[in-house]
C-alpha cells in the first residue's frame, strides 16, 4: 500500500549495485526492475501528478485524499516491486511514449543508445527519451548512471527556473492587470467614439438623402422646363428671337423711364429754384421799398428731411388744392409731382410720372378707372410704395405722408 517515503539520495551500495548489473537480452526492463533510487525521477519526470492520481484511484478503487508529495512517495514505494500500481504505471508510460520507444529501438548497441539519448535529451520530449533509455535492453550501468545524473541536475535547474519564472509571472500578472484596466478604459472610449461617429454618420446620411431628393426634384423640374421649352419652340416659330427682342424692349423701356424720371426731377428742381428766386426778389423789393439793406442769397435753405428729398407723386385731387399739396409735400422735405389722374393730362404721361416718383399717393375718389389701375399695376410690378386715400382733403394727405415717412426713414 501507499505510504512509504524513500531517502533523499542514493546510498553507496545502490551505486555499486548499478555497476554490477548483469547483461540483459533483448527484453526491455520493467519499472519494478529498476534500482530504488531510479523510481523517484522516473515517476516524477515521466508521469504528471494528475495522471498518477487517476491511476491510483483506478487501481485501488478509492479516491486518494493525500497531497501531491505523499502521493508521489507512496507510488515510489509501490513501484519498487511488481504490484498492480507498478503494472498500471508501466502500461501508462509505454502507451504515452510509444513513438519514442520505437525510435530508441533502432539503437542496437550501448554506444548508439548513448548517442541517441544525447540528441533526444536536447529535444522537446525529455520524459519520453528518459523512459525509453532506462528501459532499453542496451542501457548499461554506466549509461543509466549518466542519464539519472543528468536528469537529477536538470530537476534542480528546472526548480530554480520555476522560481524565477514564478516571480516573472507575478510581475507579468501585475502588468497584465494594469494593461487590462487600460484596455477596458480604451475600449470604453472607443465605444463612445464609435457611437458618436455612428450618430454623426447617420445624420450625414440623412442630409445626403435629403440633398439627393432635392437634386432629383431639381433635375426633374429642369427636364420638365426643357420639355416645355422645346414644345413652345416647336409650336411658336422664332420664340428665342421674340424672347430676346422682348428682353431688349424691356431694357429700353427701363432706360426711357429712368431718363424721363431724371428729366422730371430736373424740371422740378428748376421750378423750385425759380420760385425761390422769385420769392427772394419779391422780398428784396419789399425791403428795398422800406429802406432796409438786404443781401440776395440765391441758395435755397435746407428743408426738413422727413422724406429725404424723395419725389412724392400725388395722383388726382382737386386742381385748386394742388398748391396746398405742393406746400405740404415740400414742407416735409420731399419733391412734389402731380398728375390729375387722366382727366386733363394724358395717360401716357402718367407712366412717365410714375417712373420718376419714389412714393405715390393716389386719391381714388378723383381719378379715372384707367388711371387707378395703371397706378396699382405700376406700384405692384415695381414694388414702389403707394398709399390710397379716398378724401382729397389736406388732412388725408398729411396722414398719408405720415404713413410713408416711418417706412422710408432710417
Hey, where are the domains in the chain? 12-171, 238-301, 303-410
- Predicted pLDDT of residue 172: 83
Phi, psi dihedral angles at 305 (to 5 degrees): -100, 35
- Predicted pLDDT of residue 300: 35
pLDDT confidence bin for 6, thresholds 50/70/90: very low
- Predicted pLDDT of residue 254: 79
pLDDT confidence bin for 166, thresholds 50/70/90: low
- Predicted pLDDT of residue 381: 92
Residue 12 has pLDDT above 70, yes or no: no
Phi, psi dihedral angles at 320 (to 5 degrees): -70, -20
Higher pLDDT, 325 or 288: 325
pLDDT, average across residues 100-112: 91
- Predicted pLDDT of residue 4: 44
pLDDT, average across residues 247-274: 74
pLDDT > 70: percent of the chain:
79
- Predicted pLDDT of residue 350: 86
Alpha carbons within 13 angstroms on the beta-carbon side of residue 66 total 21
Among 129-133, 267-271, 338-342, the range with the most confident prediction by mean pLDDT is 129-133
- Predicted pLDDT of residue 24: 55
Distance, CA of 158 to CA of 45 (rounded, Å): 11
| DSSP for residue 305 | -
pLDDT confidence bin for 406, thresholds 50/70/90: low
Residue 20 has pLDDT above 90, yes or no: no
The CATH superfamily assigned to 303-410 is AF0625-like (3.40.50.10700)
Please write the tens of the pLDDT for every residue from 53-68: 898 888 887 777 788 8
Residue 349 has pLDDT above 80, yes or no: yes
Distance, CA of 79 to CA of 134 (rounded, Å): 15
pLDDT confidence bin for 401, thresholds 50/70/90: confident
Beta-carbon contacts of 390 under 8 Å, excluding residues fewer than 6 positions away, are 363, 364, 365, 396
**Of the listed ranges 7-11, 188-192, 339-343, the one predicted with least confidence:** 7-11
Higher pLDDT, 384 or 290: 384
The residue ranges of DSSP E strands in 256-316, in sequence order, are: 311-315
Output the CA–CA distances (angstroms, integers) from residue 26 to 29, 82, 364, 368, in the order listed. Answer: 9, 20, 141, 144
Distance, CA of 261 to CA of 304 (rounded, Å): 23
Phi, psi dihedral angles at 284 (to 5 degrees): -65, -45
Distance, CA of 269 to CA of 145 (rounded, Å): 137
Higher pLDDT, 328 or 243: 328
Nearest to 100 by CA among 77, 83, 123, 84: 123
Return the bridge partners of 387, or none: 361
- Predicted pLDDT of residue 280: 64
Helix (H) or strand (E) segment spanning residue 386: strand 385-389
- Predicted pLDDT of residue 344: 56
Q: What is the mean pLDDT of the chain?
A: 79
- Predicted pLDDT of residue 112: 92
Please write the tens of the pLDDT for every residue from 219-233: 998 988 988 877 877
pLDDT confidence bin for 91, thresholds 50/70/90: very high
Distance, CA of 371 to CA of 359 (rounded, Å): 16
Contact 107, 138 (CB under 8 A): yes
Distance, CA of 224 to CA of 143 (rounded, Å): 103
Helix (H) or strand (E) segment spanning residue 337: strand 335-339
Residue 179 has pLDDT above 50, yes or no: yes
pLDDT confidence bin for 285, thresholds 50/70/90: low
Contact 46, 93 (CB under 8 A): yes
Angle formed at CA 332 by CA 330 and CA 334, multiple of 5 degrees: 55
What is the model's pTM?
Answer: 0.36
Contact 78, 85 (CB under 8 A): yes
Segments in 20-140 forming alpha helices (H): 36-46, 49-60, 68-79, 84-96, 98-104, 110-120, 126-134
pLDDT > 90: percent of the chain:
18
Residue 216 has pLDDT above 90, yes or no: yes
Q: What is the DSSP string of 110-151?
A: HHHHHHHHHHHTTSS-HHHHHHHHHTSTT--HHHHHHHHHHH
Higher pLDDT, 15 or 168: 168
Beta-carbon contacts of 338 under 8 Å, excluding residues fewer than 6 positions away, are 313, 314, 315, 317, 322, 325, 326
- Predicted pLDDT of residue 5: 44
**Of the listed ranges 138-152, 278-292, 380-394, the one predicted with least confidence:** 278-292
pLDDT, average across residues 239-252: 78
Output the CA–CA distances (angstroms, integers) from residue 133 to 80, 82, 130, 145, 151, in the order listed. Answer: 19, 20, 5, 11, 12
Amino acid at each position: 500500500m501507499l505510504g512509504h517515503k524513500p531517502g533523499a539520495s542514493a546510498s553507496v551500495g545502490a551505486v555499486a549495485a548499478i555497476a554490477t548489473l548483469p547483461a540483459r537480452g533483448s527484453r526491455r526492463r520493467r519499472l519494478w526492475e529498476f534500482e530504488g533510487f531510479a523510481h523517484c525521477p522516473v515517476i516524477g519526470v515521466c508521469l504528471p501528478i494528475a495522471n498518477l492520481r487517476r491511476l491510483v484511484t483506478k487501481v485501488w478503487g478509492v479516491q486518494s485524499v493525500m497531497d501531491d508529495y505523499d502521493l508521489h512517495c507512496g507510488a515510489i514505494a509501490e513501484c519498487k516491486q511488481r504490484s498492480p500500481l507498478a503494472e498500471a504505471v508501466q502500461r501508462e508510460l509505454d502507451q504515452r511514449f510509444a513513438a519514442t520507444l520505437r525510435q530508441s529501438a533502432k539503437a542496437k548497441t550501448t554506444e548508439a543508445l548513448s548517442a541517441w539519448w544525447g540528441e533526444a535529451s536536447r529535444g522537446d520530449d525529455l520524459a519520453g527519451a528518459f523512459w525509453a533509455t532506462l528501459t532499453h535492453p542496451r542501457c548499461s550501468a554506466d549509461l543509466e548512471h549518466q542519464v539519472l545524473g543528468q536528469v537529477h541536475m536538470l530537476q534542480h535547474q528546472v526548480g530554480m527556473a520555476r522560481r524565477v519564472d514564478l516571480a516573472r509571472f507575478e510581475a507579468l500578472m501585475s502588468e497584465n492587470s494594469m494593461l487590462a484596466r487600460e484596455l477596458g478604459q480604451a475600449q470604453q472610449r472607443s465605444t463612445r467614439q464609435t457611437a458618436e461617429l455612428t450618430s454623426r454618420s447617420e445624420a450625414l446620411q440623412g442630409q445626403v438623402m435629403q440633398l439627393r431628393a432635392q437634386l432629383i426634384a431639381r433635375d426633374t423640374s429642369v427636364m420638365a422646363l426643357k420639355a416645355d421649352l422645346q414644345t413652345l419652340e416647336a409650336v411658336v416659330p422664332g420664340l428665342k428671337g421674340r424672347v430676346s427682342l422682348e428682353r431688349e424692349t424691356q431694357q429700353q423701356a427701363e432706360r426711357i423711364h429712368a431718363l424721363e424720371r431724371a428729366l422730371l426731377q430736373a424740371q422740378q428742381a428748376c421750378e423750385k429754384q425759380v420760385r425761390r428766386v422769385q420769392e427772394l426778389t419779391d422780398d428784396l423789393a419789399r425791403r428795398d421799398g422800406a429802406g432796409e439793406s438786404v443781401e440776395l442769397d440765391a441758395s435755397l435753405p435746407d428743408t426738413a428731411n422727413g422724406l429725404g428729398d424723395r419725389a412724392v407723386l400725388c395722383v388726382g385731387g382737386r386742381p385748386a388744392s394742388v398748391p396746398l399739396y405742393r406746400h405740404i409735400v415740400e414742407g416735409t422735405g420731399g419733391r412734389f409731382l402731380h398728375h390729375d389722374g387722366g382727366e386733363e393730362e394724358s395717360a401716357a404721361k402718367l407712366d412717365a410720372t410714375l417712373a420718376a416718383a419714389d412714393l405715390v399717393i393716389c386719391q381714388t375718389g378723383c381719378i379715372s378707372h384707367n388711371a387707378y389701375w395703371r397706378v396699382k399695376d405700376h406700384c405692384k410690378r415695381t414694388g414702389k410704395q403707394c398709399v390710397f386715400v379716398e378724401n382729397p382733403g389736406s388732412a388725408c394727405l398729411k396722414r398719408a405722408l405720415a404713413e410713408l415717412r416711418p417706412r422710408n426713414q432710417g
